Chain A
Amino acid sequence: MTAKAAAPRLELKGISKRFPGVVANDQVSFAVPAGTIHALLGENGAGKSTLVKIIYGVQSADEGAIVFDGNLVQIGSPKEARALGIGMVFQHFSLFEAMTVLENIALGMDDPPPRRQLEARVREVLDSYGLSLDPHRYVHTLSVGERQRIEIVRALLQEPRLLIMDEPTSVLTPQEVEELFKTLWRLANEGCSILYISHKLHEIEVLCESATILRGGKVVGSCDPRRESAKSMAEMMIGGSLKDLSDKSDCSYGEDRFTVSGLSAPGEPPFGTSLKDVSFSVRSGEIFGIAGVAGNGQNELLAVISGETQAGVTGSIRLEGRELSQLSVGARRKAGLASSPEERNGHAAVPAMSLAENAILSARSRMGLASGGVIKGGAAKDYATRVIEAFSVKATGPAAAAGSLSGGNLQKFVMGREIMQNPAVFVVSQPTWGVDAGAASFIRQAMIDLVAKGASVVVVSQDLDELLELCDRLAVINEGRLSEAMDVKGIDIEKVGLLMGGVHGSEIDGAGAGRAADPSHAPAKRPEPAL
């Protein structure tokens, strides 16, 4: 390591950034040496996003200096950042849905080479990093995970010397995470520094060599994640002790409450995943998990269950024996079936509308927020306020626009809006995607409390750790087919990973020794660079 340049790749000196009413960054200083993977930890709102935006030139700091490879630099735009060799993979993708993967990559480049040359380079990067992606697919047909790969390829094409990654693993399978980590280690060994933001502390323990912890815009500590536990890091982030999820082993299951059988539905044309004969049942007091890689029919399944998709659906959906499959979205909700889709902005919530109006969106019939077709403004405001308080949503009040909330806070609001209606069955996709540790454990606890009252919950998630922590049983969805349900106690992680990757039945039994359940099933340690 000492052979590398003495000056750190990136050094921040007293960076401060103020927005009206809030100090996003307050005298932030730290350094990232060349070829290291450095974690930036902090809860939502701790100032991580602002800080990386400053480094990437999206925003400019009010005070402080950025030193890159020993040179004082002013980064006025992302273009200048890229010119310096700083690449970034954003948590929220900036992609044009009506264009192909290749066109999107070309658009993101300052100086795109001719199409054929670019395609060759893209394929080269895809191959060498083991990423699977068809450059000619249209973005609107891709899953979240695949979309993220575009962003990663975009960044890798620039051969960056500092790569900033914001929540990159939230949509990957354990095997894919392992692949990504290999890619990142390879990059680091080639001398590229990586600034890594993630809420998955188990991964940071394995991946990163150093970490800076932000709270309230200030640096409150630094650590070597390899010597810390996920819990100790989470507590440093929160600045208090983390509450363990209450044990739900003592709760008893009731009868089968929610039964889906033989459910088939065509995928969204032209490239959506069709559902093929999906069956499962959930007892009262039980959390049922559906694992799988993005784009394997999860969104379709959720839309069919909630009633948003009705055309071409066959099979039955029963809630306490009552057939729901012919009912409208509103009627299903009245029957006690609540749902929360993966995408918060524009699907579970209307960004331009206030929280009170967003409460009306899905709670109007069960919570009596309208009568005779006329909105009860006061009742809607009250309900939104109750959700804000009960779920500690950071918002100025029920009149705040949903779009003004951070991702984690909006998710808390959306989850609260559904859970506080006391549904008999709650079907939720990606309940904690992009949500910080504190909020995620809050949301998980809320679901556990809901089943403790006798409800049934179905969690669709790509985060296997989350499912293992939360669920009583889980099944894996792959290409629209759902596997047999498995008890989470003593589950074979290797088998789940293979099912997620599309290996079925007998092939798995032959695969032999599987790893036993381990919430921190982590990829292998970083190999030492050959010197």
Chain B
Amino acid sequence: MMLAAPVIAVALTLVVGAVLFTLLGHDGLGAILEIFVKPLFNPYRWQDLLVKAAPLAMIATGLAIGFRANVWNIGAEGQYILGGLAGTGIALATLDMSGGWILPLMLLAGIVGGMAWAAIPAVLKTTLGVNEILSSLMLNYVAIQLLYYLMRGPWKDPMGFNFPQTAMFTADQTLPMVVPGTLIHLGVPLAVAVALTAFFVMTRTITGFQMRVVGLAPKAAAFGGFGAASTVWIALMAGGGLAGFAGILEASGPFGQMVPQFPTGYGYTAIIVAFLGRLNPLGILLAAMVLALTYVGGESAQTTIGLPSAATGVFQAMMLFFLLATDILVRYRVVSGRAAPKTARAPGKAEAEAKSGAKTGETKVVTA
């Protein structure tokens, strides 16, 4: 049933979404078809799906490692931006150089940048006990302001007609395409490789075991010799590192430069992906495709049937909402309150009746 919950959630999202947009005066059924069905049958859209799904899967994989251990890193958006910025820093410093070492260095810088940003909530949590949900979330806004400052100040392209953006990356700083003639860049197979690696780590290594034990039974983890601090660090470094990696892959791939529009909410959507994928790296690959569909379909629905751009967000939010709801309902059962028969409520009274021979207890209620 735990595996059925995401399927039910997606189905409910489609049904309720159709009703909702019909009530709002749109063609509800058409919107569903446009967003969730048509991109699947349009081979030209498949590459878009993969390109959108890759960063979502990569970030969600990192988050899921922490979520398993109940470390709630909500700051993937900021870590994604910092990863992009760190890699961009390398790119801007090497604009005049060439060589195969530049791109790997940028990617490494991206990972380190994301980790560094995630290290802030990790330090706060392990030394002062600061709740990582709040600290990591708030750092997202700091990261966005840092991005805006760099775009409008020090990193602005001197030849860019005063547009707030960096210079275009050189060929040595851009991700190669893996399928010639398409948009499918190196980040797509990398995302799959990361998910497979994470699957191995979570199921076959002591580190993965540690994360699972901490999530299931924190006291047992302490008994087993897994420190609370090391768990927080592993969780945030995995989440931050992979978010930063996704960030630099986006910057050096689809963007090819750094722009203020760089953050597109992948860091938040990845939270939905992680849960929809049941915190399992393989499930996350599938869930990333579903969420990518809302992006790709949502964009095309804007032009074809004039759906507002907010529709994408509405569908994503509904999906998380229904997922959380079905998770609860899979585990629990709604029981209507049934009061005990009045006569039997007060023990004294029941006793009196029992003594007088009244069969108070007989065939009262039998329910399954």
Q: Which residues of A contact B (CB under 8 A)?
A: 60, 68-69, 71-77, 79-80, 82-85, 110-111, 158-159, 161, 306-308, 328-330, 333, 339, 341, 343, 346-353, 357, 360-362, 364, 370, 373-375, 377
Contact = CB atoms under 8 A, between A and B. Distances in A.
A80 B354 contact: no
B344 A83 contact: yes
Contacts of B207: 373
Interface centre among B219, B220, B347, B364 (most CB of A within 10 A): B220
Given A347-B219, A361-B213, A361-B220, A111 B345 contact: yes
A76 B364 contact: yes
18 contacts: A71-B359, A71-B360, A71-B362, A74-B361, A74-B365, A79-B340, A84-B350, A308-B222, A308-B223, A329-B222, A329-B223, A330-B225, A350-B213, A351-B216, A353-B216, A361-B220, A361-B223, A373-B207
Contacts of B220: 346-350, 361
Contacts of A349: 220
Contacts of B213: 350, 353, 361
A255 B224 CA distance: 29
Nearest to A347: B219
Interface residues of B, number: 34
B366 A60 contact: yes
Contact of A74 (B219, B344, B366): B366
A161 B351 contact: yes
B361 A84 contact: yes
A68 B361 contact: yes
Query: A-B pairs with the 5 shortest C-beta distances?
Result: A73-B361, A329-B225, A330-B225, A83-B344, A361-B224
Contacts of B212: 353
A133 to B, nearest CB: 23
Contact of A370 (B206, B346, B347, B350): B206
Interface of B: 204-207, 209, 212-213, 216-217, 219-220, 222-225, 227, 340-341, 344-347, 350-351, 354, 359-367
Contacts of B345: 83, 110-111
A85 B345 CA distance: 10
B111 to A, nearest CB: 20
B224 A85 contact: no
Contacts of B354: 69, 71, 84
Nearest to B359: A71
A68 B340 CA distance: 18
Contacts of B340: 79-80, 83, 110
A122 B362 CA distance: 32
Nearest to A159: B347
Interface centre among B205, B206, B346 (most CB of A within 10 A): B206
A47 to B, nearest CB: 22
Nearest to A334: B225
Interface centre among B205, B217, B359, B364 (most CB of A within 10 A): B217
Nearest to A328: B225
B223 A306 contact: yes
Contacts of B222: 308, 329
A347 B217 contact: yes
A69 B358 CA distance: 11
B202 to A, nearest CB: 11
Given A71-B361, A350-B213, A374 B205 contact: yes
B347 A83 contact: yes
Given A76-B367, A77-B365, A85 B347 contact: yes
